[in-house]
Amino acid sequence: MNSRSLLLSPNPNSLKSRFTKGLLRALSRINKHRQQPRSSREIRKRHRLIKAAAYGSMASSVGNRRAWSRALLWKIRNQTRRGYAATRNIGSSTRQLSMKKRICDLQKGNNSKNRVEVGGLGQVDKLRRLVPGGQVMHTCSLLEETAHYMKCLATQVKVMTRIVEVYNIP
């Protein structure tokens, strides 16, 4: 399989190539010891691992430059350290953090710093839940992170489709 070489050509340092390398490495690591998974439980486990590998390699290739990648890396590291249940806690704890932050903000500048301007209909909250690390960001930076996150997601999807193609031709 040469999917890595398939995707690397133009710019070896681009996000896509970095992501591809990381993902393939993780995939090979995941696949190294296992036989073909027969039980659904195994498949689910592998699915989780592969998903974590995808997001993890994406976040690693982005590095620490973006808040969402930092949050994602942190989440994955904690996830592997403490087990899968930890991910749920992390979500709630960040939410608590964000609530505290909001309270502080509101107390500080009551009328001046009104952080809920983009009311929408709770859309900004939805967005916060979608983007990793979005709970503690201000709306303005949230939008910026969303844009970058979308771009990286699209790259991820492209790379993974290619990999799947190479793996599963029929």
Partner 1 sequence: MDPTAGNVPGSAVPGPDHEEPGLETLQFREEIQRLITVPPDNASSFTALLELPPTQAMELLHLSPESEPNPAPAAVSGEPPLLKPCAHPFNSSLTFPSNATLIERAAKFSIFGGDQSPETGAVPSNPGVNLEKVKSEPAESDSNPNSSQETKSNQRSSAKRKEREKKVKVSMKKSKIEAKEDADKIPYVHVRARRGQATDSHSLAERARREKINARMKLLQELVPGCNKISGTALVLDEIINHVQSLQRQVEFLSMRLATVDPRIDSNLDHLLATESLSLMQSNFSSMAPPIMWPELPINGNRQQYQQQWHFDALHQPGWGREEDNHIFITPEASLISCNSSANSASLHTGHVKTEL
CA distance 150 to 115: 24
State the binding string over 126-145 for partner 1 (x if CB under 8 A, else -): xx--xx-------xx--xx-
Q: Which is nearer to partner 1, 45 or 96 (CB)?
A: 45
Number of residues that bind partner 1 (CB under 8 A): 68
Q: Which is nearer to partner 1, 51 or 77 (CB)?
A: 51
CA distance 70 to 94: 13
Q: Which is nearer to partner 1, 104 or 110 (CB)?
A: 110
Rounded to the nearest 5 degrees, what angle is found at the Cα of 46, between the Cα atoms of 24 and 134?
A: 80
Instruction: Determine, following the binding rule CB under 8 A, whether residue 146 of this chain makes contact with partner 1.
Output: yes
CA 104 to chain centre: 28
Q: Which is nearer to partner 1, 54 or 90 (CB)?
A: 54
**By CB under 8 A, which span of 66-74, 81-89, 97-105, 148-156 interacts with partner 1?**
148-156
What are the percentages of helix, strand and coil residues in the chain, rounded to 5? Answer: 75, 0, 25
Instruction: Determine, following the binding rule CB under 8 A, whether residue 165 of this chain makes contact with partner 1.
Output: yes
Instruction: Determine, following the binding rule CB under 8 A, whether residue 154 of this chain makes contact with partner 1.
Output: yes
**Distance of closest approach, residue 115 Cβ to partner 1, in angstroms:** 9
Pick from 143, 127, 144, 147: which is nearest to 135 by CA? 127
User: How many CA atoms within 13 Å lie on the side-chain side of 96?
Assistant: 5
**Distance of closest approach, residue 77 Cβ to partner 1, in angstroms:** 19
Applying the rule CB under 8 A, the residues between 92 and 121 that interact with partner 1 are: 109, 111-114, 117-118, 120-121
**Distance of closest approach, residue 53 Cβ to partner 1, in angstroms:** 8
Query: What burial letters (b/e) apply to 67-100, b meaning 16+ CB within 10 Å?
Result: bbbbbbbebbeebeeeeeebeeebeeebeeebee
**Distance of closest approach, residue 148 Cβ to partner 1, in angstroms:** 9
